Amino acid sequence: MTADAARGLILVVEDERAISDLLRLYISREGFGVHVATDGLSALTAARTMHPAAIVLDVGLPAMDGTEVCRQLRAEGNWVPILFCTARDDEVDRVLGLELGADDYITKPFSPREVVARVKSVVRRASLVTADEAPLQVGDVVVDLVTRRVTVASEPVSLTATEFDLLAYLMRHPGRVYSREQLLSEVWGYAAVVGTRTVDVHVAQVRAKLGDRSPIRTVRGVGYSAEASAES
């Protein structure tokens, strides 16, 4: 691990040495520090003590699987970006991972360059805001871009990094309708070849957390927008 890497620390949780070595090589080339954990329990300890900028988390781990690691971190209020990396390619597994609070889902075999691109995307989004950006408000929902806090009728709501970015992107342009492909490109930072189901799952998660005051509106056959009077 290069602890002094300028771009932050990435926690790679992977029990296959060949894969973790490959990810370490490619991620460190981009200026990140890399720490590798090989089981779920050590991953939880590292996430709690090392405060990584993002976690690349395998699902099939010894001692505790990746979904339980994610579940426990979210239950503790730890919203570090999590990218699931797994051999499972079933849509049920992908949706479950996203519903647990993961920010992305990558299936094996994968290109290490694709993993790096997604890591850079989630880390970059969190650093784009300047200190003088005003909060966004649509209806009763307020998004503070500087502190990355969301309130609904003055009550705080916890969102994952990607849920926050999705909501903020829609609220920056209230009334404007974005296709799922546009949202994948602008919020996730990659093309729609990975499938637009990811967008739908994240929208559903944000709506569930915001409740009846959610500003996200579905424009059938087109995509999503944010409006104060929205009804899903």
* pLDDT at residue 5, rounded to an integer: 53
Based on the fold, state whether residues 121 and 145 are members of the same structural domain: no
Based on the fold, state whether residues 48 and 149 are members of the same structural domain: no
> In terms of residue numbers, what domain contains 35?
9-126
Beta bridge partners of 217: 225
Q: Tell which wins on pLDDT, 111 or 47.
A: 47
* pLDDT at residue 8, rounded to an integer: 87
* pLDDT at residue 132, rounded to an integer: 61
Residue 126 has pLDDT above 70, yes or no: no
pLDDT digits (tens, 9 = 90+) for 191-208: 555 556 788 889 999 999
Residue 120 has pLDDT above 90, yes or no: no
In the block, tokens 């290109």 appear at 111
Q: Tell which wins on pLDDT, 128 or 28.
A: 28
Based on the fold, state whether residues 20 and 122 are members of the same structural domain: yes
In the block, tokens 């409740």 appear at 211
**How far is the C-alpha of 222 from the C-alpha of 210, rounded, in Å?**
22
The neighbour count for residue 96, using CB atoms within 10 Å, is: 18
Please spell the DSSP secondary structure of 14-48, one letter per residue.
-S-HHHHHHHHHHHHHTT-EEEEE-SHHHHHHHHH
Q: Tell which wins on pLDDT, 131 or 63.
A: 63
Q: Tell which wins on pLDDT, 146 or 75.
A: 75
Q: Is residue 232 part of a domain?
A: no
Residue 28: pLDDT band (50, 70, 90) is: very high
* pLDDT at residue 230, rounded to an integer: 42
Based on the fold, state whether residues 171 and 121 are members of the same structural domain: no
Q: List the structure tokens of 226.
A: 């944010």
Average pLDDT over residues 216-223: 92
Indicate which CATH number applies to the domain containing 196: 1.10.10.10
Based on the fold, state whether residues 116 and 25 are members of the same structural domain: yes
Q: Name the least confident of 1-5, 18-22, 185-189, 214-218.
A: 1-5
Residue 133: pLDDT band (50, 70, 90) is: confident
pLDDT digits (tens, 9 = 90+) for 56-107: 999 888 889 898 999 999 889 888 889 988 776 555 566 677 777 788 888 8
Based on the fold, state whether residues 16 and 117 are members of the same structural domain: yes
Percent of the chain with pLDDT over 70: 85
Based on the fold, state whether residues 120 and 153 are members of the same structural domain: no
Q: List the structure tokens of 160.
A: 């994952």
**Using the 8-state DSSP alphabet, how is residue 169 labeled?**
H
Residue 4: pLDDT band (50, 70, 90) is: very low
The neighbour count for residue 232, using CB atoms within 10 Å, is: 12
Based on the fold, state whether residues 116 and 171 are members of the same structural domain: no
Domain boundary among 102, 126, 150: 126
Based on the fold, state whether residues 122 and 13 are members of the same structural domain: yes
Domain boundary among 71, 92, 126: 126
Based on the fold, state whether residues 109 and 151 are members of the same structural domain: no
Average pLDDT for the chain: 85
**How far is the C-alpha of 131 from the C-alpha of 59, rounded, in Å?**
36
